[in-house]
């Protein structure tokens, strides 16, 4: 089951996390959407609690997990 949220962030607009597979979808304010795989639930929970979503993504997600850019029709 996917858990989707909207973020009050200047960088990240929405996120959806599937606990069973550890897949995280992040849509950025620039319109691009990325799918990160192998993300632990604890990382998603930390993202939710982070005061700066963009800084958290840059530090703890981008470059840490395999990813691919996807289109909006693939969410």
Model confidence pLDDT, tens digit, residues 37-62: 999 999 999 999 999 999 999 999 99
Which contiguous run of DSSP H or E holds residue 28?
Answer: strand 23-28
**In this structure, how many other beta carbons lie within 10 angstroms of the beta carbon of residue 65?**
18
For the chain, the domains span: 2-74
Model confidence pLDDT, tens digit, residues 15-37: 999 999 999 999 999 999 999 99
Q: What is the pTM of this model?
A: 0.89
């Amino acid at each position: 089951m996917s858990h989707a949220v909207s973020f009050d962030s200047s960088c990240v607009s929405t996120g959806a996390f599937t606990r069973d597979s550890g897949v995280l979808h992040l849509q950025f304010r620039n319109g691009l959407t990325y799918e990160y795989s192998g993300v632990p639930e604890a990382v998603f929970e930390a993202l939710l609690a982070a005061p700066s979503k963009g800084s958290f993504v840059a530090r703890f997600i981008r470059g840490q997990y395999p990813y691919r850019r996807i289109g909006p029709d693939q969410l």
